[in-house]
Amino acid sequence: MRVSAKPGRCMTQRRDIDTMRRKRDIDGLVEALSDPAENVRLTAAEALGTVGDERALEALERLKFSDPDTGVRRAASVAHTQVVARLAARKAAGGRT
């Protein structure tokens, strides 16, 4: 699912990202990390942090060092930390969620 960066689509973009988050559509959220709109990338990074899926780690790692927007880099860094923490907690609990 590609999220459009057209003006006037901010609410739709947020709904699209929220829908992907609820559906745990990691591939869609990771794809949204390369959207031209900063707010889409930032919102997708935040959603990936809340989902906590290890498939997002590589993309978040890359984004937190390479995105041109400081806010997006910060969101990716926080999300990456959230995913790592969730994975560590699962491991400590013996693989249970």
Q: Cβ distance 17 to 47 under 8 Å?
A: yes
Residue 2: pLDDT above 60?
Answer: no
Domain assignment present for 85: yes
Residue 10: pLDDT above 80?
Answer: no
Indicate the helix (H) or strand (E) that contains 32.
helix 26-32
**CATH number reported for the structural domain that contains residue 42 in this entry:** 1.25.10.10
pLDDT tens-digit series, residues 28-79: 999 999 999 999 999 999 999 999 999 999 999 999 999 999 999 999 999 9
Total number of domains constituting the chain: 1
pTM (two decimals): 0.83
Burial (CB count <10 Å: 0-12, 13-18, 19+), residue 4: middle
